[in-house]
Amino acid sequence: MILTASANDFDSTLLVRTMRASLAVESHLSLLLWLQGDVRRMIPHDVLFSCNGSLGNEAYQYDVVSAIPGMRTSLLPPQTLQMIGERMHEDWVAAADSAGPAALCRDFARYLAGSEPHAALATMKHALCHAISDTRVRVDHLYILLRQRQPFSNEERRLFELLLPHVDAAVSKIEALPTQARARAGQPATFDSLGVNSLSNREREILEWVRCGKTNIEIGMILGISGFTVKNHLKSIFQKINVSNRAQAVGKLDTMSTSGSRALAAG
């Protein structure tokens, strides 16, 4: 516990260490480890949901960071994530207009009303949200902590306000997920456009992370599976696309992507 037994105080040493550790975040894996480590010690939570960019339009971007199996950006319904982000953003703006920007503690269930059912999301009961306004481009970067058990306290709300600039800086350094990066660049989805139907959704996801230079351990941490499971998936991928190692798989994927883009352009 970081709160002292005597008053509304906290472990300043842990707070400073947590802030400094944010500077070392440089990948999805290191972000997950930081959030699940010092940040979670200060504010226990199960999920970080970030909404970055122009909320409410096509430039809307989001990411989910969690160690819970199935709680992955690529596995959650996009419409549901956008709806949650927009609803919580509206509440945050309304509160900020009346009392000034501050973190909000909310019952999470009502934000799921009318959304596509999802087992992992449905277990989340409480939300703590706050946003950083980027006045240069007139957008708000919204961050939401979710957890399954007790509501967030006022002390945790104040701590989140202190940590938010460091959370925002850490998330901003992380490369976009492969699917979001292609969408922003206006590129066709590699697998869909090229019709590599023999690969499962999980195999496609793993191959994209290999393409991004992630190791088996890093991919396992991102997807919530073991490095050994990733290795077995890669063996299956190599057999299906007729290659013998990671470099050949990425090379073949790049070649197929180039060929597919040329075919689409010619068509």
Q: What is the dihedral of CA 52, 55, 58, 64, to 10 degrees?
A: 40
Cα separation, 154 vs 124, whole angstroms: 19
pTM reported for the whole predicted model: 0.69
Tokens of 122: 């449905």
Cα separation, 198 vs 241, whole angstroms: 8
Q: Looking at residues 35-50, what average pLDDT do you find?
A: 93
Specify the residue for token string 């975040």: 25
Contact 241, 249 (CB under 8 A): yes
Cα separation, 94 vs 33, whole angstroms: 33
Per-residue pLDDT tens digits for 128-137: 999 998 777 6
The helix (H) or strand (E) run that includes residue 64 is strand 61-66
- In this structure, the number of other CB atoms found within 10 A of the CB of residue 71 comes to 22
- In this structure, the number of other CB atoms found within 10 A of the CB of residue 55 comes to 22
Task: Say yes or no to pLDDT of 252 above 80.
Answer: no
Q: What is the pLDDT of residue 184?
A: 45
Q: CB neighbours of 192 closer than 8 A, spacing ≥ 6?
A: none
Tokens of 188: 């066709």
Cα separation, 103 vs 144, whole angstroms: 9
Query: Burial, 247: exposed, middle or buried (Cβ in 10 Å; 0-12, 13-18, 19+)?
Result: exposed
Per-residue pLDDT tens digits for 68-106: 877 888 788 888 888 898 899 999 989 988 888 899 999
Q: What is the dihedral of CA 240, 244, 250, 255, to 10 degrees?
A: -70
